[in-house]
Amino acid sequence: MERKYPHLCAPITLGRTTFRNRMFSAPMGGTDITNDGCIGPKSIAFYELRAKGGAAAVTVSECMVHPQTDGSHAYHLDESILNSLACATYTADAIRRHGAIASLELSHSGMYSGTYMIDKSKQHGMTQWGPSACVRPDGVQVGELTVEMIQEIVFAYGHVAELAKRAGFELLMIHGGHGWLINQFLSPMFNKRTDEYGGSLENRCRFAVEVLKAVREAVGPFFPIEFRLSGAEFVEEGYGLDEGVRIAQQLEPYINLLHVTAGTYQRTFGITHPSMFTDHGRNVYLAAEIKKHVKVPVATIGGLNDPAQMEEIIASGKADVVYMARALLADPFLPRKVAENRDDEIVRCLRCFTCMAERAATSTRRCTVNPLIGRECEGDEVTPALVKKKVLVAGGGPGGLYAAYTAARRGHQVVLCEKENELGGILKSEQALPFKYEMYQLTGTYEKLARDAGVEIRLNTEVTKEYAEKENADALIIAVGSEPLVPPIPGLDGDNVVVVNNYYREKDKVGSEVVVMGGGLAGCECAIHLAQEGKTVRLVEMQDELAPDANVRHRPLMLRQMEEQGEKLTVCTGHRALRATASGVVCQNKDGREVLVPGKSVICALGQRSRADVVEQLRDAAPFVRVIGDAAKVSTITNAVYWGYHAALDI
């Protein structure tokens, strides 16, 4: 067959190992790490799904090589730990059985040991070690590693590498980026040593070179070794791309693949993990520049999820391999769909950070658009229903669409009704915000999957109790969503007022000076967009805190975007709206005084409420009834999709 993306699908050989394509699964940490650092069964299933989905290599992250100086709650590979080698072997086998190459990331946290601990007080109580003695910004004391300790860590890298090879891993990634120990030695921001491990570039690279030599000695001459390097650190005290090139040249003789990433995890999270506010592939230029100066193959990473863009990266010679992490959470089968010319079925990552926020909050993992993530042990195949039934879905938002798609895959006869002339529910409003346009496009992807699975979709059709009873369905999934909360504030019915959900329809009504009422997630993101368009925006929020409904990873990046708008965006917290007028919004400030927040246009973004009246009307309209998404509780797309998926499985 003729591949639509031939360069992306072409194999590549590193050392004497051939990889089936150029799409690699980037390191992603486990969620059920045992107390002694073993890989748990949920994580084994998680990595296996990446392999089943067609990735050429699947990287298990992170294996900390020296617990004596790095107490991070991460993977360890140590024959003295019962089941450690066995768990690693089962993991490598689970990956390899699907044709992918199992890779293990070897790392050391250095002065950031314990980063992944939920209880940060334990982290602060640990002894931290780095290239130089210092006090971290959070007040934690860091001790300087002695030469003897450095050599002990170097030996540990080699020893763990030998164990990894024994366990069946066929690629090793040495993590030298993101502010972990090897990067700390490479970076002038961290490394203040005056001995042979500090000062000149050659000296700062010495530890990395010694590690790579130890690993090579352990695994042999033809085993592929990959080095993960931050091409630039993006902080004033660190190194830039010019020095990144010179570091790459120092390390090139000892590796088979140079993996160019970006930034320092503790300082540049939104660069290392590009957010929706940045371009896809915003870090590719780092790999492209470094590739001009080295002979080894180069890999790139950074918010990549579009096969056309990734094909161009490989075809134009910017890189030889593309890595994906979040994109393979959203759709683990992305590589397989690319290889089979089914790229129009790819469920794109939204870069919403639900995955990373959930891991930080609960040590589990979820994905907004993929309910399988974190629950791979349950299997990725949908079991056909023994008894085929008629299923009626009320509402064509993301939850309703995914429920309909899943029910159809089980063999049920599925009818989805949407009362408006377009699917998408609340996602329709996202088409007006360029940085959230992929969220709007999600509807089209889910619609295609649902139609291809056999779902009958009826637009301009409202499901009433009478309609449901006439359809005589065996099961009814109520996914009617929510409606905007518009409190009885005088003036909100004025011609200059636009409800945020309707902004995409009424953009022309919004002038150059705008007041946004409501500092939740929707209000903040709308304010950012309006300011980016050059409008003068004033955001009014009754509470002292903005966007408490945003997740812990997205929120700080969003707030930074607000700050970057400068004078175009003014935030007025502690202001309770009293009335909207043609001149702006009259508010009561913290001092109890009435003040006018000026603006010719007003955006009402005061939240959502469930369509409880519709739900009550439909509760007894079928033998099996399930309420999902905002109709049950105003929440997130994540919950709507997850509840919809499981509602369909329960029929």
Query: What single DSSP character describes residue 580?
Result: E
537 in the same domain as 429:
no
Q: Which two tokens stand for residue 553?
A: 């990873």
Gap between the Cα atoms of 226 and 258, Å rounded: 6
Gap between the Cα atoms of 213 and 251, Å rounded: 10
Gap between the Cα atoms of 479 and 463, Å rounded: 11
Instruction: Give the model's pLDDT for residue 115.
Output: 66
Question: Per the domain annotation, does 11 fall within a domain?
Answer: yes
Residue 351: burial class (beta carbons within 10 Å; 0-12, 13-18, 19+): buried
Instruction: Give the model's pLDDT for residue 116.
Output: 61
Contact 258, 302 (CB under 8 A): no
Question: Per the domain annotation, does 283 fall within a domain?
Answer: yes
pLDDT in tens, 255-278: 999 999 999 977 899 999 999 999
3-class DSSP state of 484: strand
Q: H helices of 433-520, where? A: 437-453, 465-471
Torsion 314-316-319-320 (CA) sign = positive
526 in the same domain as 416:
no
Contact 611, 482 (CB under 8 A): yes
- Count of domains for the chain: 3
Percent of the chain with pLDDT over 70: 98
| Length in residues, the chain | 651
Place of tokens 């010694």: 210
97 in the same domain as 244:
yes
331 in the same domain as 451:
no
pLDDT class of 173 with cuts at 50, 70, 90: very high
pLDDT class of 511 with cuts at 50, 70, 90: very high
Least confident among 205-219, 354-368, 416-430, 566-580: 354-368
Distance linking the first and last C-alpha atoms of the chain: 39
3-class DSSP state of 51: helix
Contact 174, 211 (CB under 8 A): yes
Instruction: Give the model's pLDDT for residue 119.
Output: 65
Instruction: Give the model's pLDDT for residue 123.
Output: 66
- Per 3-state DSSP, the chain is made up of helix, strand and coil in percentages (nearest 5) of 40, 20, 40
240 in the same domain as 103:
yes
Instruction: Give the model's pLDDT for residue 266.
Output: 79
Question: Per the domain annotation, does 489 fall within a domain?
Answer: no
pLDDT in tens, 556-568: 999 999 999 999 9
Using the 3D structure, point to which of 320, 342, 377 is the last residue of a domain: 377
Gap between the Cα atoms of 539 and 636, Å rounded: 23
Q: Report the pLDDT averaged over residues 413-434.
A: 97
Query: 94 or 31, which is more confident?
Result: 94
Gap between the Cα atoms of 478 and 404, Å rounded: 11
Query: On the CB side of 217, how many CA atoms lie within 13 Å of its CA?
Result: 12
User: Residue 77's closest CA among 161, 186, 148?
Assistant: 161
Question: Per the domain annotation, does 492 fall within a domain?
Answer: no
Question: Per the domain annotation, does 340 fall within a domain?
Answer: yes
Percent of the chain with pLDDT over 90: 91
Give the domain extent around 396.
386-484+610-649
393 in the same domain as 347:
no
Place of tokens 């050391």: 108
Question: Per the domain annotation, does 26 fall within a domain?
Answer: yes
Instruction: Give the model's pLDDT for residue 192.
Output: 97
How would DSSP label each residue in 101-124? Answer: EEEEEEE--GGGTTTT-S-HHHHH
**Which domain CATH number covers 543?**
3.50.50.60
Q: H helices of 10-80, where? A: 41-52
pLDDT class of 117 with cuts at 50, 70, 90: low
113 in the same domain as 46:
yes
Helices (H) and strands (E) counted in the chain, each on its own, are: 21, 28
Place of tokens 């352990």: 218
Place of tokens 């309909």: 404
pLDDT in tens, 309-334: 999 999 999 999 999 999 999 999 99
User: Residue 12's closest CA among 4, 22, 3?
Assistant: 22
Gap between the Cα atoms of 95 and 103, Å rounded: 9
3-class DSSP state of 271: helix
Contact 600, 582 (CB under 8 A): yes
CA 53 to chain centre: 18
Question: Per the domain annotation, does 402 fall within a domain?
Answer: yes
Q: Residues with Cβ < 8 Å from 376, sequence gap 6 or more?
A: 42, 45, 46, 48, 49
- 133 pLDDT higher than 90: yes
Query: What single DSSP character describes residue 264?
Result: B
pLDDT in tens, 33-75: 998 899 999 999 999 999 999 999 999 999 999 999 987 778 9
Backbone angles phi, psi at 197, to 5 degrees: -105, 10
159 in the same domain as 20:
yes
466 in the same domain as 555:
no
362 in the same domain as 391:
no
Backbone angles phi, psi at 247, to 5 degrees: -65, -45
C-alpha separations of 622 from 443, 479, 626 in Å:
27, 14, 10
Place of tokens 């980016």: 532
Contact 223, 172 (CB under 8 A): yes
Question: Per the domain annotation, does 551 fall within a domain?
Answer: yes
Burial 552-583 (b: 16+ CB within 10 A, else e): ebbbebbbebbeebeebbbbbeebebeebbee
Report the DSSP beta bridge partners of residue 476: 392, 625
Gap between the Cα atoms of 156 and 245, Å rounded: 28
335 in the same domain as 190:
yes
**Which domain CATH number covers 58?**
3.20.20.70
Contact 403, 607 (CB under 8 A): no
Contact 66, 152 (CB under 8 A): yes
Residue 584: burial class (beta carbons within 10 Å; 0-12, 13-18, 19+): buried
User: Residue 49's closest CA among 455, 412, 375?
Assistant: 375
Q: H helices of 33-172, where? A: 41-52, 84-96, 120-124, 147-167
Q: Residues with Cβ < 8 Å from 510, sequence gap 6 or more?
A: 498, 503, 530, 535, 601, 603
**Which domain CATH number covers 632?**
3.40.50.720
Gap between the Cα atoms of 379 and 434, Å rounded: 35
Using the 3D structure, point to which of 377, 398, 414 is the last residue of a domain: 377
95 in the same domain as 159:
yes
Gap between the Cα atoms of 24 and 351, Å rounded: 18
Gap between the Cα atoms of 648 and 631, Å rounded: 16
Mean per-residue pLDDT over the chain, rounded: 96
Using the 3D structure, point to which of 352, 377, 402 is the last residue of a domain: 377
